[in-house]
Amino acid sequence: MANTTTKLHVIFGDGTLGVATDDVHYLFSYEKGGLESIVSHGKEWLYRPIRPIFWRATTDNDRGNHFSEESAMWLGADCFTRCQNIDVQVDGEDLGLPIAPQNNQFSNDETADQVDITFDFQTATTPATKVTMHYQIVANGKVTLTSHLQGKEALPELPAFGVQLIMPTVATGFEYDGLSGETYPDRMAGGSRGQYYVAGLPVTPYLVPQEMGMHMQTRWLTVTRQRTLNNADVDAQPFSFSVEMADQPFAFSCLPYTAMELEAATHVEELPLARRTVLSVYGAVRGVGGIDSWGADVQPPYRLFADVDRTFTVQIHPGNHVAD
C-alpha cells in the first residue's frame, strides 16, 4: 500500500524494521546488525549492510614503519566486528528491540515523523571497545547517520574510522564537491576545491595495490549507477545516491574493492573483476607519510590515536545532491 501521508511509514517486522516514504524504503536488519536495504524507485543500493570500518589497505610506508603489524587488530575488527545491541525509537519513544511479541501491537499503517535506530558494535580488539551507528530518519526520507567510536587508551593507532556502503553493481561514476585528485590529511594542500566528476571507479595503479582514492574535505558526493542485480529490472536509466556533510566535511573513497581485496593483491592484475561499488565514508583517516618508506612514521597530527572518542555525521539519501 502506498504511503500517501507526509509521514514515514514504519513496518515493525519480525527480523527487520522497515521505514518508508513514497520514494524510498529502508530495511534495517536485526540479524545482520545494520541497514541492509535502501530501495528507491525500484533500485536497490545496498549489497551488504552498512558497517563500521577501521582499516584502510596498507601503504608501502605503513609496511616500512610496521604500522600494520602494530595495528593489526583493527584489521580483525574491520572484518569481524559484532553487533551487540539494537535500539529503536519512534517519535522519541524508546521501543528497545521491538520484535515479537512486542510488535504484535502494531498494524500495517504505522506512521511517524522520525525514526531513530541505533546499532551498538563491539570491536574484535583486545581490549574491545564500542562503536555505535545511529540512523535518524525524518519525514522527507533523509537519513542522518552518526558513527561514534569510544576511545580506549590500550588500543593501537587506527588506520581509519568510517562506514562502508557496498553497492550491488559498479557505478558509472561519481560527482563530489571537495578537493581535486587523491588527497590525504598530510597531502591535501595541492587539492583545489571544486566540483568534480569522476567517470567509472578508477583504480590508482600503484605497483602493489594499497590504500588509494581518498578524497578529503568533501561536502557532498553523488554516486551514479545504471544497472541493478534485479532480474526483473530492464531499465537502463542512470540513478543516483548522495552523501552530504552534516556539521563537518567528510572523506571518502569510491572504489570497486574493499580494503581486504586491495590488501590481498600483490599486483593490479590480481584484483578481482570489478563487480561492486565500495563506498567508504570516513570521519577520520591516517595520513600517508613520506619521510621514508622503511621506518619513519606519519607525522603526529595525521595519526589516529585510539585514546580519543571520535564521532562523525553524514546524511545519506537516494537521488542527486540537493543544493542547500
Using CB under 8 A, list all residues that contact other proteins. 59-61, 64, 180-182, 184-192, 204-208, 210-212, 267-269, 287-294, 296, 298-299, 302
Minimum distance, C-beta of residue 159 to other proteins, in the bound complex (Å)? 13
Strand pairing of 34-40 and 43-44? antiparallel
Residue 92 or 300 with smaller CB distance to other proteins: 300
Closest Cα partner for 257 from 223, 211, 215? 211
Q: Check if the beta carbon of residue 169 is closer than 8 Å to that of residue 227.
A: yes
Residue 141 or 209 with smaller CB distance to other proteins: 209
How buried is residue 268: exposed, middle or buried, by Cβ count under 10 Å (0-12/13-18/19+)? Answer: middle
DSSP-assigned letter for residue 262: H
DSSP string, 53-66: E---PPPHHHHHTT
Residue 62 or 244 with smaller CB distance to other proteins: 62
Residue 12 or 257 with smaller CB distance to other proteins: 257
| CA 121 centroid distance within chain | 15
Minimum distance, C-beta of residue 198 to other proteins, in the bound complex (Å)? 12
Backbone angles phi, psi at 145, to 5 degrees: -110, 120
Minimum distance, C-beta of residue 206 to other proteins, in the bound complex (Å)? 5
* Angle in degrees, CA 182, 300, 160, rounded to 5: 50
Report the distance separating Cα 251 and Cα 237, nearest Å: 28
Minimum distance, C-beta of residue 63 to other proteins, in the bound complex (Å)? 9
Residue 5 or 299 with smaller CB distance to other proteins: 299
Minimum distance, C-beta of residue 211 to other proteins, in the bound complex (Å)? 6
Minimum distance, C-beta of residue 264 to other proteins, in the bound complex (Å)? 15
Cell of residue 7, nine digits: 509521514
At 75, the amino acid letter reads: L
Residue 104 or 180 with smaller CB distance to other proteins: 180
Minimum distance, C-beta of residue 284 to other proteins, in the bound complex (Å)? 15
Q: Is 173 helix (H, G, I), strand (E, B) or coil?
A: strand
Residue 126 or 192 with smaller CB distance to other proteins: 192
